[in-house]
Amino acid sequence: MEIFDLIDALEELVVQARRLPVGGNLVVDRKRMLDIIDQLRLAIPADLRQAAQILEGRDQIIQDARETARRIIEEAYRERERILAESDIVREAEARSQQMLLEAEQRARQTIAEADAVAAAHLSEAAEAATKQLDDADQYALEVLRRLEHQLQAFLDAIRTSIMNLQERR
């Protein structure tokens, strides 16, 4: 209630003040006015003073909160961009690895096909060479057997001649 009494005293001071003839201003007892203002300050409850200090600090707290929120939002945007970039990189890497795998499989199939063709060619050449060698071996054996047959025939003729000579001598 003391505050209200002091406000009443201020009001009384203003009411009792003398008016200046020009401009409508008042002449107030300065010392008495400052005393009442000091008493008002002292009469303000501690809670009210704390509320005033809190209100003064509120603007700073709000400004700090806004700055923190701005930094968090900026960081979130940067993180989102980083994640998007990483996911793009991952997708590109997966696509590239898939492409490389397909190319490797294609090269492997081509290499196998070429190896099969080379093997088939070598096998064909080997079969032809084997057939030729068999033909050559048969031809050689036939020639050897014919020579042997001629030699045997010559031996036989010589033996018959010898037998006939022996028989004639007897």
Tens-digit pLDDT profile for residues 76-87: 989 988 888 888
The answer to the question of residue 143 being in a domain is: no
Instruction: Look up residue 20 and give its DSSP letter.
Output: P
- Nearest-angstrom CA–CA distance, 128 and 56: 107
Owning domain of residue 46:
2-75
pTM: 0.37
Cα→Cα distances 46→50, 52, 136, Å:
6, 10, 128
- Nearest-angstrom CA–CA distance, 144 and 142: 5
The answer to the question of residue 120 being in a domain is: no
Residue 76 has what pLDDT? Answer: 92
CB atoms within 10 A of CB 17: 14
The answer to the question of residue 19 being in a domain is: yes
The answer to the question of residue 41 being in a domain is: yes
The answer to the question of residue 83 being in a domain is: no
Number of structural domains in the chain: 1
The answer to the question of residue 84 being in a domain is: no
Residue 1 has what pLDDT? Answer: 52
Percent of the chain with pLDDT over 90: 42
Tens-digit pLDDT profile for residues 101-155: 999 999 999 999 999 999 999 989 989 988 999 999 999 999 999 999 999 999 9
For the chain, state the CA radius of gyration: 64
The answer to the question of residue 151 being in a domain is: no
Confidence class for position 10, pLDDT limits 50, 70, 90: confident
The answer to the question of residue 36 being in a domain is: yes
